[in-house]
Chains A and B, each alone.
Chain A
């Protein structure tokens, strides 16, 4: 296999990180919706905690995206 093919596969794997991050954020948001339904008066605090968790989890997907982009742009595939 040529170097370009290996790099393309590596970039695709890095972009695939987004799938797992999607599962994680969906899980967190589902739990947050459940918590809000149980205690609507705590909605503000729950929203802040959820946003914080989602932002931190999302960083993994963003790293994958940025690394995939850099791989594709630096090495001529």
Chain B
């Protein structure tokens, strides 16, 4: 079968760029809102509401839903304690937030059974739903901007906490630590590390996404189901874990 006939190239280019869904008018400025941003908002709203509902009426002796929250928080606490060591306390909330966001963002395509915008518009009559295309819950991390912003955030935390914990003088001295020759490499580290964090997450998610799209185009029956377990679920969680693990590793180096 000729893949070119299926419009594969156009489809790939279309997936690489974010689609503009609607505009927000703010004091005369027009702010375009892309579909990846809307998916991100959905994940954020879900996480915030779930966290709010699960942490109401906390008791000293955990019961029911509080057990779940304590298991999740305890996991991230011990995870950051293992990697960072003494100064783990300030990093655990950031790492937990990024890990939960990425875990949902990478596997969001599992929830694509939700009906499209036209159906929702017919049912509810709200104009807002008209802009939403069908099957738009695709991993937002396949757009390079979201991994890039997360990686820049991680490096920002590294620099900020490095200065706050080591004190500015010792932080500057750490650039020349074993010998002054390493200074340019340590400066380059601050540009190479976010680039590698970004490209690792973006490339993995986009690669898995393209493989799954090819499968849906060529073999829509039976085969995508078992492969989706690897490409959507396992790869998504693994990349979220690796992203926060490497972030913690860089932070541990920044404050040691």
Contacts and interface: CB of A to CB of B under 8 A. Distances in A.
> Do the two shown chains form a genuine complex with each other?
yes
A59 B200 contact: yes
Nearest to A45: B82
Contact of B199 (A44, A48, A52, A66): A66
B245 A63 contact: no
Interface stretch (B24-32, B59-67, B109-117, B201-209): B201-209
A59 B245 contact: no
Interface residues of A, number: 13
A69 B199 CA distance: 13
Please report whether the interface of chain B is mostly helix, strand, loop or mixed according to DSSP. Answer: helix
B68 interface: no
Given A73-B12, A73-B13, A73-B16, A55 B203 contact: no
A55 B246 contact: yes
A52 B252 CA distance: 14
Contacts of A62: 199-200, 203-204, 207
Nearest to B243: A55
A3 to B, nearest CB: 17
B44 to A, nearest CB: 26
Interface of A: 44, 48, 51-52, 55, 58-59, 62-63, 65-66, 69, 73
11 contacts: A48-B83, A48-B245, A55-B200, A55-B242, A58-B200, A58-B204, A62-B200, A66-B202, A66-B203, A73-B9, A73-B16
Interface of B: 9, 12-13, 16, 82-83, 196, 199-200, 202-204, 206-207, 241-242, 245-246, 249
